Structure 1
Amino acid sequence: MLTQEMALITQDDLLLPGGRIEIRVAGPTGLSLVAQVLKGHYPLAFGMSKSNAKPPCYPLATQCEIIDFNQLDDDCLGIVLEGQQRVKILSAAQRRDGNWIARTLACNNWQNEPIEGEFELISAALEQFYQVNPALFDLYSDLHLEDATWVSQRWLEVLPLYNRDKQVLVNQPDCHKTMNFVLDLIKSHAGS
C-alpha cells in the first residue's frame, strides 16, 4: 500500500479525472500552498468540502495538476486545475501556515468506455450545456463526448446536487449509475 503526501485544496466544487476547474486563490496561505506545489514540494489533491469535518473534505479526492494561472481583477490568483487520478484521503493535518497536507492512496479511475444507444442523449445534452456556458467550455481544448466516463464525470462536476449525493455516485466502481441518473434527469426534465 503505497501512500503519498499531497497538499490539499478543498472547495464546494467537484473535480474528477479529465475535468478542469478554475479556482481563485487569495491570501498568503493559499499562495504559499500554490508555490509549494509549483516548486515540486508536494503533488496537489482537490477535495470536495465537507462541513465541520477533519479533514475538511470527503474521503475521495482527485490528484490534479496546475495547468494555467493568471492574475484576476482583484489581484487574486486564478489557477486552472486538471484532474488526473482519484485518491483516497487516509488522514490529513493542518500545518501552522493554515494549509492542509493529506496522506493519500491512489484509487482506480473509471475505465473509458464508448457511449452507446440512448445514452448518446447525455453526450448531446452536455455539448449543449457547454455551448450556453462558455466559461466552462473554454477550459477544454478537446471534448471527449464519445467517452461515457468522461461525459458522466463532467455531469457530476456541474450538476447542482448536494455534495453527499455526488459522493454516492463518485464512489461507484464505474460510470454506469451516473449515466443512468443523468439520463433519467434529462428524460424527466424533457417531459415537464
Structure 2
Amino acid sequence: MQTKEVALLIQDAVLLPGGRLEIRVVSPSDLAMVADVLKGHYGLAFAPLKVNSSLPCYITATQCNIIDFNQLEDGSLSIVIEGLQRLKILSTAQKRDGCWIARALPCANWCNEPIAGEFEIISAALEQFYQVNPDLLELYSQTHLEDAAWVSQRWLEVLPMYNRDKLILVEQPNCHKTMDFVLQLLKSHVDV
C-alpha cells in the first residue's frame, strides 16, 4: 500500500471507521486546516492526542471525511466527521500556521461479522446507550447493531478509558478482543 499525506485533526478522543463525531473548530490553525481539506489540498485524519511524546498524537489514526458543518451561536464552526479507514502515522510535521501534516500508511479495517449468542447483549446495551444519549445517535442516519465490528468500534469511541488502553484493542486484527472486553465489562456491571 502507498503512503498518503493527510492533515491531522488531533483531539483527546478516538474515532474509528464507521464512526461519527461532532467537533467544535475554534483555533485559527484548525480552521485553516479544515479549509485546506475542503479545497482538496489534503485528506483528513483524526488522531488521538498523546501528551509528553515526540509526536503530537498516537500512531493509530483514522482517515475521515467532513460530512456536515454548522456555524454555532458563538460564531465558531462545528464539523461532523465520519471515520473511513484506519491509518498508521509514519511521520508528522507542523506547518507555520500550526497545522499538523502526517505521512500515513493505510491499515486493514476490521471485517464485518454478525453478532451472535451471548454477544447480542453488547448490541442491546449500545442501543440503550444511544437512547440515553440521543445527540450521539442523531449523528447516524443508520446504525449497524447487527455487525460486531461496528458495535465494537462504537463502544471503543464512547467508553471512558484512556486512549492508550483503547488503542491496544483498536490495534488488534479483528473485533474479538473488544467484544470480549465489553461483554466482561457489562457482566461485571450487572453482577454488582
Q: 1:75 is matched with which residue? A: 75
Q: 1:19 is matched with which residue? A: 19
* Partner secondary structure for residue 18 of structure 1: coil
Q: 2:36 is matched with which residue? A: 36
Q: 1:54 is matched with which residue? A: 54
Q: 1:133 is matched with which residue? A: 133
Q: Which runs of 4+ in 1 moved over 4 A?
A: none
* Partner secondary structure for residue 63 of structure 2: strand
* Partner secondary structure for residue 96 of structure 2: coil
* Partner secondary structure for residue 160 of structure 2: coil
Give yes or no for contact 1:54–1:92 (8 Å, CA) kept in 2.
no
Aligned mates of 1:54, 1:3 — CA distance in 2 = 21
* Partner secondary structure for residue 119 of structure 1: helix
* Pairwise CA distance, 1:130: 0.2
Q: 2:173 is matched with which residue? A: 173
Extract unaligned runs of 5+ from structure 1. none
Taking every aligned residue pair, what percent have the same amino acid on both sides? 69
TM-score by length of 1: 0.99
Aligned mates of 1:90, 1:184 — CA distance in 2 = 34
Extract unaligned runs of 5+ from structure 2. none
* Pairwise CA distance, 1:53: 2.0
* Pairwise CA distance, 1:73: 1.9
Q: Cα RMSD over matched residues?
A: 0.7
Aligned mates of 2:88, 2:31 — CA distance in 1 = 25
* Pairwise CA distance, 1:56: 0.9
Q: 2:118 is matched with which residue? A: 118
Q: 2:94 is matched with which residue? A: 94
The total of aligned residue pairs comes to 192
For residue 176 of structure 1, what is the amino acid of its counterpart? H
